[in-house]
Structure 1
């Protein structure tokens, strides 16, 4: 049985752990956070990605915790409604579609529960060094003892440690899109009931929607800038507050909530482009290899479909007595056209969503079954 180290305990890494176990591998997941990460925005599972969820036997659980939005409003600087829709929302698209929107933390929790007992989970640690030879890939950790694995998968996000160690500096592959976001939680002081509200003025704006049976809010601030941004800490909160300070409506109360939040996250919207997703015994999955950015609405879909295809190809190679290289090649050959279409969603309509036709085409543009 081959041993696989997966760096990153998010959607991509946790889904892969289960799917690899199903294909006869022994996966270990290392995650820097002390436990499953809480907070974050609502994510969408669309098209073929829903088929992955169904094949994992998780459709009922996922749908049980989906968001239940009735619609959305767009308001001006004084809070006056200038647009209303009960057909679609900016975060999840058409409300009458079969797509599922849920909180990222809920999806990760479901996947982690599903993989419990199938994979070893190591929290509070990260990879410090990779060294490969004919016997395997030797991994030094920041805290734990060194270990050797047959393969290493980088499923550790936009700023992947595995990608930096195995492929080179981040700057060679990261392509900023000129937009930044900050996401945090707050009490539902707006009294929203399954209803989103969006406000924008000039180069900055935000969306607010209720979660947890309308007890909490998730807030997404966004602004255009070419400057780098701190991703966490007091300096990041201060920078975000400065960028949003000129907005009116409920901005002062939202900024107060920003400074109280415990699940704050900020980053530049960017994509990752590499000529190859594998190097020796290391391979990239999800945002680490082909981040489309949240502007595409398809990051979760790419993570789930990528995990399915990578596990499928490694399983086929194992059954045929092949090495890992042919599996990595087939994974990339099958996955790359799907990635290209979904990354294009983020740039099709700068400052706005991609067309419904483009989303529909992109989310279904792959088969889960090998030819």
Structure 2
């Protein structure tokens, strides 16, 4: 352990005190009285009693050896022992001297000599160790206090709004109780369930459109943000959560609104599209339509389909722009689409 550095100023003061005590000793010539000796005896006995009382308190200190109370009483007992020794020396000097002032002066000389020697030696290793233990205990107390303080602070893990608050100010909170719920609204997002047969068609960053029941005939653009890795089996049907993030802000949109989403798997321009209701398939999954030419209906004209949507599909071959196709024929009437 490192010792405390020697204080030269304190040593100079101690040396001056020693010189003064020696000078006073040499100038004293009074005789010693019985009252002086009695007073010195009482002083010595008082310090002994104080020392013994502090030792008893130290041995019964809470926490035992090494605790803060133990170290405090131990330090006080050391100081009392030092004072008792001075009182004993003073009593001895008075008993053996012809003057009480001379005995006291001699004791002061010895006290000044002891103080000077202590300062020159610096702090003792045992004293330094005792203070280091006390300092470590104080640091632990500060650390526990800081931990308790920071446990009273809730830090939001992300920016958002408080969507639910389940506690009131001043209420006692039990462990594992949700105090509040934080909702991330930047951006707003929608979670939909996609069947396992269709999930293979999706990938992140695909474009999508979202409509809200509360805002009819208004479409909002979105982007496929995340596809769940783990599916959910509900009544034998496996589906996966897909999160769509809105790419535009609109103050009319509120959290919790009912939505419908359409994900754009592939997009093509300048192609021929026909309603799916006009398409017929055979057992080999080939596609046909009824083509109208003038007043004549040519049945089962083969066509080749490209992209197939929920309501319309792309015809890559078999039709040209302007062709008229029939939906069904009944009683010489038919519905046409071009």
TM-score (norm 1): 0.16
Structure having the higher Rg: 2
TM-score (norm 2): 0.17
